[in-house]
Amino acid sequence: MSREPERLEGEPWIVAAYREHFKYIFALVGRLGVPAAGVEDAVQEVFLVLHRRREEFRGESSVRTWLHGIAVHVARRQRDAIRRRAAKLEQVVVMQGTALDEEYASREALRRLDRLLDELVDEQREVFVLAEIGGCSAPEIAEMLGLNINTVYSRLRLARGRLQRALESLRAEEGAQHGAA
Handedness of CA 76, 78, 79, 80 (dihedral sign): positive
Residue 181 has pLDDT above 80, yes or no: no
Q: Which amino acid is at 65?
A: T
pLDDT digits (tens, 9 = 90+) for 137-146: 999 999 989 9
Helix (H, G, I), strand (E, B), or coil: what is residue 88?
helix
Instruction: Indicate the average pLDDT of the chain.
Output: 80
For 100-181, the fitting CATH number among 1.10.1740.10, 2.60.40.1180, 1.10.10.10, 1.10.3210.10 is: 1.10.10.10
Q: What is the pTM of this model?
A: 0.53
Q: Indicate where the chain has its CATH 1.10.10.10 domain(s).
A: 100-181
pLDDT computed for residue 116 by the predictor: 80
Pairwise pLDDT comparison (68 vs 108), residue with the higher score? 68
Kindly indicate the confidence band of residue 148, based on its pLDDT and cuts at 50, 70 and 90: very high
Q: Indicate where the chain has its CATH 1.10.1740.10 domain(s).
A: 1-93
The verdict on domain 1-93 having CATH code 1.10.1740.10 is yes
